[in-house]
A and B are shown apart, each in its own frame.
Chain A
């Protein structure tokens, strides 16, 4: 009894001590701190794990290459479980350690952190997700949806479908269904798809799937009844593999399905294998790149030393590459900041924001980093926080993802007005004044 009381007392004291001292740690003087919000548990873990592994492996690679002009990176992972409240708590805990940017990997968390980040002077980098309208840097000073947003993805899918049909005019009278995750993430493409439907005269049916998307029989029965010419799949996590399995079970041809870049990775199709043959997905520039120089570097400098974060056969997979690319864009933002504000120094949040806003990744720079043939040049500016809108289509052939299209680009004529209008509405709601050109120079 006495021992139990003693242990209990020690536990309580330790609890109090540890809770009181959280959030007071300082980053090392010469290290740039990077918070890593990831989810390795919960219903979205199968997709979150490879992304996190890619992200952390890239940070380790940067350190192995000598850091950014000699400044090493320190990082800490925090488990969010794709839950907004936990993501916010992780953000609050890690921001005090000197974070200059954060990548939440969850649209819900992005919305919540966008409200807090400007006051904390931390950039929210959302490579390929987040708010599509945050590409407008004049309203969203601290948001960076670099390399692509959901509207670019939806537009690329539409262009690929149009190409298959023989031009946008041939889409008149056709039927396209959107099977989407019933959440802000899933609803993102709807404005753009509705705009395209109005322009070209095809019928768009919206079929929401309640999160997490485990039961889709009724949805695919409706698909079977509607007999759409194409199905656009906008899911994440288990919803993707379930959708493909239900498509197989109801006999809908997988060749007619196009998934967003978060629905086109190995965890979604691996256990369906041949049943998913012919399933297409749009990619945000990169796909599965096992032959790239980046993968070779990671294997040589990180995995061979036993420092790899995940299993070796995961290196080069689609989501791994996305995590690595996201990390690379953040690191390059820091490097750009160092080029302006002092090489070899630790950068503050404001300086890194400038760096992210003035990214100029030419093809030669990307090649040197190991992304030859994987990525195209990215160049952000004050008004444009996206920097590039390239995409491709890849198709699952039963064993691997293979590219089946040329480079596509989001149609600026349609996307830009939509971005401006939605961003203006946000600014009006929040009573923000858009930035002036003078402010852009700072």
Chain B
């Protein structure tokens, strides 16, 4: 009843080609943006910002990047943690070594360095496919781990190898408060997600999807696998690099290479799979799931246990979290292998017909 496309006629090609052709979609997006930019800052507590919203935003950005590579182009990559690390350390070096470097430029340069690193370690994808590629990208992960521990130039010769940034400000607005950090990440995420959404709608995105579906056939009809695969790696690592720089600068403040270990790569892959591969919207769902679930379990389980009068130690809660996390992933994959985004699109389908069943 409400989600009808009837009567929405497009009179120009431009109108027909817009990202959100249905007016209700545009309205929903506008409301979501209004809530994110205006309502949330008014009601959220410091803890919500620091522990839930900011990680969610940063991981959504990273998940968008990984989704482009894994979901749209079909190249399984387990090296996302390395790309985040490269982005973070490159941004750090630009920020610290060049006097007066604006934060935004440092972040973008971090993304560019991650892009170059991604192209380098994406070269094997031209020869190696599938699961073999997944394990090969772990080479990038472990190499990056070692590189930032051993080559002291990257950490500005700090004696312990740990680096930190402070006094962040953009266009005169200080980013010390949680609200400032939140707005900055939100703005960056909105811009980059929009750009990514547009990219995957275009020719490049269609090339990626052709490679994903059947790369031999794609080559036959004239899509050059090298350009397609390497451009996927490039765009993906650029976005993941910026996300890594944000994670380091905004959330952690001071970090060491262990912050970007192989666990991070697995986490990102989980977000993409659970959220839905090949869907920008899905990246957000996946990131929300993975970020909120441990915190929710941490609060929920002791409450449930105290209902039954049992006291669990923190170790027990941690183990239960692991088990529930693993169990939920398996359950999700059984129930909806295409992820939360598929559930969302099914919901939209149902909404189109509502209140009729068919």
Residues of chain A at interface, number, CB under 8 A: 49
Chain A residue nearest to B152 in the complex (CB):
A187
- Report A-chain residues with C-beta under 8 Å of the C-beta of B257: 183
Report the Cα distance A79→B51, complex, angstroms. 15
- Report B-chain residues with C-beta under 8 Å of the C-beta of A112: 252-255
Q: Closest Cβ of chain B: how far from A110's Cβ, in Å?
A: 9
Q: Which of B304-358 contact A (CB under 8 A)?
A: 313-315, 317-319, 322
Chain A residue nearest to B253 in the complex (CB):
A115
* Beta-carbon contact of B161 and A88 below 8 Å: no
* Beta-carbon contact of B252 and A85 below 8 Å: yes
CB-CB under 8 A for A81 and B318, given A131-B160, A187-B160: yes
Let me know if A422 is at the binding interface, CB within 8 A.
Answer: yes
Stretch at the interface among B196-204, B222-230, B291-299: B291-299
CB-CB under 8 A for A92 and B50, given A22-B299, A182-B149, A183-B258: yes
* Beta-carbon contact of B314 and A79 below 8 Å: yes
The residue from A41, A84, A115, A191 contacting B318, defined by CB atoms under 8 A apart: A41
Q: Closest Cβ of chain B: how far from A186's Cβ, in Å?
A: 9
- Report A-chain residues with C-beta under 8 Å of the C-beta of B161: 183-184, 187
* Beta-carbon contact of B300 and A14 below 8 Å: yes
Chain B residue nearest to A130 in the complex (CB):
B160
B274-307 near A? 1/0 per residue, CB < 8 Å: 0000000000000000001001100110010000
Q: Is the interface of A mostly helix, strand, loop or mixed?
A: helix
Let me know if A15 is at the binding interface, CB within 8 A.
Answer: yes
Report the Cα distance A246→B51, complex, angstroms. 41
Stretch at the interface among B41-49, B186-194, B207-215, B234-242: B41-49
Let me know if A40 is at the binding interface, CB within 8 A.
Answer: yes
- Report B-chain residues with C-beta under 8 Å of the C-beta of A185: 160
Report the Cα distance A22→B317, complex, angstroms. 17
Let me know if B100 is at the binding interface, CB within 8 A.
Answer: no
* Beta-carbon contact of A89 and B253 below 8 Å: no
Report the Cα distance A191→B160, complex, angstroms. 9
- Report B-chain residues with C-beta under 8 Å of the C-beta of A131: 160
* Beta-carbon contact of A115 and B164 below 8 Å: yes
User: Which size class do B's interface residues fall under?
Assistant: 35 or more
CB-CB under 8 A for A79 and B258, given A19-B52, A188-B160: no
Chain A residue nearest to B146 in the complex (CB):
A210
Q: Closest Cβ of chain B: how far from A281's Cβ, in Å?
A: 21
- Report B-chain residues with C-beta under 8 Å of the C-beta of A431: 167
* Beta-carbon contact of A111 and B162 below 8 Å: yes
The residue among B257, B299, B303, B315 with the most chain A CB atoms within 10 A of its own CB is B315
Let me know if A344 is at the binding interface, CB within 8 A.
Answer: no
Q: Which of B29-54 contact A (CB under 8 A)?
A: 45-48, 50-52
Chain B residue nearest to A77 in the complex (CB):
B314
Q: Which of B65-112 contact A (CB under 8 A)?
A: 96
CB-CB under 8 A for A23 and B253, given A77-B314, A108-B258, A115-B166: no
Report the Cα distance A96→B178, complex, angstroms. 14
Let me know if A38 is at the binding interface, CB within 8 A.
Answer: yes
Let me know if B259 is at the binding interface, CB within 8 A.
Answer: yes
* Beta-carbon contact of A23 and B48 below 8 Å: yes
Report the Cα distance A187→B254, complex, angstroms. 16
The residue from A23, A77, A108, A114 contacting B45, defined by CB atoms under 8 A apart: A23
B residues adjacent to A (C-beta < 8 A): 45-48, 50-52, 55, 96, 145-146, 149-150, 159-162, 164, 166-167, 176, 251-259, 263, 292, 295-296, 299-300, 303, 313-315, 317-319, 322
User: Could you name 19 residue pairs across A and B whose Cβ atoms are closer than 8 Å?
Assistant: A23-B46, A77-B314, A81-B318, A84-B252, A84-B258, A96-B47, A107-B160, A107-B162, A111-B160, A111-B162, A111-B164, A112-B252, A112-B253, A183-B161, A184-B162, A187-B159, A187-B161, A210-B145, A422-B159
Apart from A111-B255, A422-B159, list 11 A-B contacts with CB within 8 A: A15-B292, A22-B299, A40-B313, A85-B55, A88-B252, A96-B47, A112-B252, A115-B253, A183-B257, A187-B159, A187-B160
